[in-house]
Amino acid sequence: MATDKSGGPPVEPAVAQVIPIKGWRRIMAERMAQSHAEHAQVTQMREVDVEALVQLRQSRFAPAASAGTRVTYTHLLVAALARALKEHPLVNSCIVGEEIHVYADVNVAMAVALPDGALVAPVIRNVDRKTVAQVAAEATELAEKARARRLRPDDLAGGTITLTNAGMYGTDFVTPLISAGQNAALGVGKIVAKPVVRDGAIVIRPRMGLSLAYDHRVLTGAVAAQMFQTLQTIVEDPSGLE
């Protein structure tokens, strides 16, 4: 609050616009406050080498775009995350009262930004049982429905973990908030060519920033790091993604 140098009352800044907090803004505000209130959230970050992921997308999945299904890095990461969770099921869980409920299904909520600034997270169900092409087709359909305001309540329910990709906006790292009914969220940054040391030589490699937010009441740093390491291994050697 600015103060008048003459000793008078504080000088308030001029207001250019008043935006009511209602509709989707109220829903988002309530959910964000709920996330902070309900989770003991901490975040781990790491850079991963995505040269193999880039090559995989270009060689195996780019041709599919001509058939109408465009596979993005988000789709590949959704599939990779689901596979990592199958090896570390405790991350795919929630707290219910005095119990930790470990989910049998891996349902990834994929954050989608709408033109007016609203953010929704439609859910891709049973990702661990689907091919990358199936994930891409379902994710594309859900994103189109979101932008057309045609999502049904069922499309937004049942997520067990959330993935948000801020890399498309030039962000290096993002710390996502954990959604209600979940214990973790993955944030994705942009791909950047960086110099790294390989076999004693400096080479240029594409790198991506990942952020794993998790509820420390359920997951210790070691458990979260183990899942994060598995995810990194899958991303850096994605040959098993089909």
Tell me which residues are annotated as active site: 216
Which one, of 177, 229, 231, 211, lies nearest residue 40 by Cα?
177
What own/partner pairs with CB < 8 Å and gap ≥ 24 does 139-144 have?
A: 139/74, 139/75, 139/78, 139/110, 140/69, 140/70, 142/110, 142/112, 143/110, 143/112
Query: Would strands 2-3 and 10-11 be described as parallel, antiparallel, or unpaired?
Result: antiparallel
Q: How many other CB atoms sit within 10 Å of the CB of residue 67?
A: 8
Compute the distance between CA of residue 74 and CA of residue 57 in angstroms, rounded to an integer: 11
In the chain, how long is the greatest CA-to-CA distance? 71
The residue assigned the tokens 């953010």 is: 119
Assess contact for 42 and 222: CB atoms under 8 A.
no
Compute the distance between CA of residue 223 and CA of residue 184 in angstroms, rounded to an integer: 12
Compute the distance between CA of residue 36 and CA of residue 32 in angstroms, rounded to an integer: 6
